[in-house]
Amino acid sequence: MMKKIVKNPQQWQSQLDPEQYRVTREAGTEAPFSGRYCDHVDDGQYHCICCNHPLFGSTSKFHSGCGWPSFNGELDTAEITQRPDLSHGMNRIELLCPQCDAHLGHIFNDGPPPTGQRYCINSAALGFESDNETSE
């Protein structure tokens, strides 16, 4: 079983920049087409910016045109938490890191085959580790 990481707001604020904190700890959304990973194409693995939990492989990333990084599936070991989100007058499914409950984004059923899913993820919620070297 995965051990939960729990920190108070001050601890998260000292670890994250203001945009990362707003997105991951306050369920914010970055502006479309503004995130560093929107058009990112390097080979590697995306992880939670808060706790480094592995979430997505670059092979599942695709260009959806929606303005946020999009993936058609998560890593087999990711175990991303899904929960209903009725905020802003919409009926969506929110995605959370299973290890630290960071808000990642939302999932939609308009993605490409084979899953038909689009994991619409905020760049501010992600870090990236290249297959060639380690990077943020």
- 50 carries an active-site annotation: no
Cβ partners under 8 Å of residue 82, min gap 6: 93, 94, 95, 96, 107
Active-site pick, 38, 50, 51, 120: 120
In which order are the strands placed within the sheet that holds 126-130? 54-57, 44-48, 126-130
With b for 16 or more beta-carbon neighbours within 10 A and e for fewer, the 54-83 pattern comes to: bbbbbebbeebeeebbbbbbbbeebebeee
Catalytic positions: 120
